[in-house]
């Protein structure tokens, strides 16, 4: 799986937010050794981004 550039180009909201969400999800997946990573040849970041774009992982911005 490659990084989902098509979804990134079509994304209409804040691109920084979705990038941070994918980055944090990739960190989570790497820490828990998610078995789905092996199915995607160890490409954690692209898998995390795909999960964010497919709405399998949701995120929200919290005000401080």
Q: Give the pLDDT confidence of 44-61 residue by residue, as tens digits.
A: 888 888 888 888 888 887
Spatial separation of the C-alpha atoms in residues 22 and 35, rounded to whole Å: 18
Residue 2 has pLDDT above 60, yes or no: no
The per-residue pLDDT for range 19-29, each reduced to its tens digit, is: 888 889 989 88
- What is the band of 1 on the pLDDT scale with cuts at 50, 70, 90? very low
pLDDT classification of 4: cutoffs 50, 70, 90: low
Sole residue written with tokens 């401080």: 64
Cα dihedral 22→24→25→31 (10° resolution): 140
Distance between CA atoms of 57 and 1, rounded to whole angstroms?
A: 18
């Amino acid at each position: 799986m490659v990084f989902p550039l098509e979804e990134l180009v079509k994304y209409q909201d804040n691109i920084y937010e979705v990038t941070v969400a994918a980055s944090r999800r990739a960190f989570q997946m790497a820490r828990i050794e998610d078995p789905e990573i092996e199915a995607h040849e160890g490409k954690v970041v692209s898998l995390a981004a795909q999960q964010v774009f497919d709405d399998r992982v949701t995120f929200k911005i919290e005000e401080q």
